[in-house]
Amino acid sequence: VLGNTAADLKTRIERLPGLVDVEATGQNNRSNRITEIEHVNGQRGVYVRASLNQGHRLGDATEEVVKVAKMVLPDGVRLELWGDSALSSHVLGSFAGTLTLSVTCMLLVLILPFGRLLEPMVVGLSLPLSIVGAMLALLITQSDFGMISLIGLIFLLGLLDKNALLLMDYVNQLRRAGLSRTEAILETGVVRLRPIIMTTASTILGMLPLALGFGAGAELRQPMAVAIIGGLLTSTLLSLIVVPVLYSLLEDCWVGLFSGIALRASQKSEVRSQK
């Protein structure tokens, strides 16, 4: 049963677009039948291998193979992904933990120079701006969402962090110089616009050759460049608006929260003194 199932699965995979050089272990090329069965972790198994053709994405090909396997495999036989497909699934599964750890470490470091939680909170809430742009760019260009593009997302977090810090640090400098919060925010938008645009433009221009597929092995690095360019375009434009708005709203909430706590504490002390 296992041999016939593996042979049937191999035949169906050969018909899928984007997969070439499909072969199964223990196959007799003359009869196209599985004549040898291997053992994997004490269980009988057959390896079916295939190479991905140029211009096709690994994720799409894996989904098609899984769909075909569900139609072919009988009860008692299961499919396990190995090779690049398994590695891609493992990377996507562990990325959430890696991303959470990266953001947490970054926010903890930001507490040291500012001495309060307001600025790190603004940075943390503005981080999704880059992820939205990166996902849209990958979707529009039909690029593969895998390990390389995930590296680009982590790279984007540091760039957006830099832009938000430039804005909030200058706002705090102007407020210490005597300007009101609104005046400081408006002045910061004018003064910091040029350096933010210039650094973003230089990074995008540096990534263009990779995004366009120039150079040897560019297909491997192309998704990373596409994700970085898309994330930079959206995060740079939106951060100039979203970061000042978040800064104002969170500071008002911050002041209101501590004012309420101080008011309740004073009321309790007055009640105790009257008693």
Band (pLDDT 50/70/90 cuts) for residue 76 is low
- Are residues 43 and 115 both part of a single domain? no
- Are residues 149 and 245 both part of a single domain? yes
**85 occurs within a structural domain:** no
- Are residues 100 and 221 both part of a single domain? yes
pLDDT tens per residue, range 34-53: 555 566 666 666 667 776 66
Do residues 133 and 233 lie in contact, with contact meaning Cβ atoms separated by under 8 Å? yes
The number of distinct structural domains making up the chain is: 2
Which domain covers residue 146, as residue numbers? 94-274
Residue with tokens 């849209």: 136
pLDDT tens per residue, range 131-158: 888 888 888 887 777 777 777 887 887 7
| pLDDT beyond 50 at 262 | no
**255 occurs within a structural domain:** yes
**81 occurs within a structural domain:** no
- Are residues 140 and 177 both part of a single domain? yes
**38 occurs within a structural domain:** yes
Phi-psi region at 122: left, alpha or beta (left = phi > 0; alpha = psi -120 to 50): alpha
Band (pLDDT 50/70/90 cuts) for residue 242 is confident
User: Residue 200 CA to chain centroid, in angstroms?
Assistant: 19
Angle between helices 128-141 and 218-274 (to 10 degrees): 150
- Are residues 199 and 238 both part of a single domain? yes
- Are residues 39 and 100 both part of a single domain? no
Does pTM surpass 0.85?
no
For the beta carbon of residue 235, count every other beta carbon within 10 angstroms: 28
Name residue 51's beta-bridge partners.
20
Residue 183: which CATH number? Answer: 1.20.1640.10
Q: Which H or E element spans position 23?
A: strand 19-24
- Are residues 41 and 139 both part of a single domain? no
- Are residues 47 and 131 both part of a single domain? no
- Are residues 47 and 141 both part of a single domain? no
Separation CA 172–CA 157 (nearest Å) = 22
**86 occurs within a structural domain:** no
Separation CA 82–CA 235 (nearest Å) = 36
Which of 72, 105, 121 is at the close of a domain?
72
| pLDDT beyond 80 at 19 | no
- Are residues 65 and 102 both part of a single domain? no
Sign, CA dihedral 258-262-268-271, equals negative
- Are residues 123 and 250 both part of a single domain? yes
| pLDDT beyond 80 at 243 | yes
Out of 86-90, 187-191, 239-243, the most confident range is 187-191
- Are residues 105 and 27 both part of a single domain? no
**89 occurs within a structural domain:** no
In 3D space, the residue among 87, 91, 120, 89 whose CA is nearest the CA of residue 103 turns out to be 120
**121 occurs within a structural domain:** yes
Q: Taking the C-alpha atoms of 160, 166, 168 and 171 in order, what is their torsion angle to the nearest 10 degrees?
A: -150
**78 occurs within a structural domain:** no
The C-alpha angle with vertex 31 and arms to 27 and 33, in degrees rounded to 5, equals 40
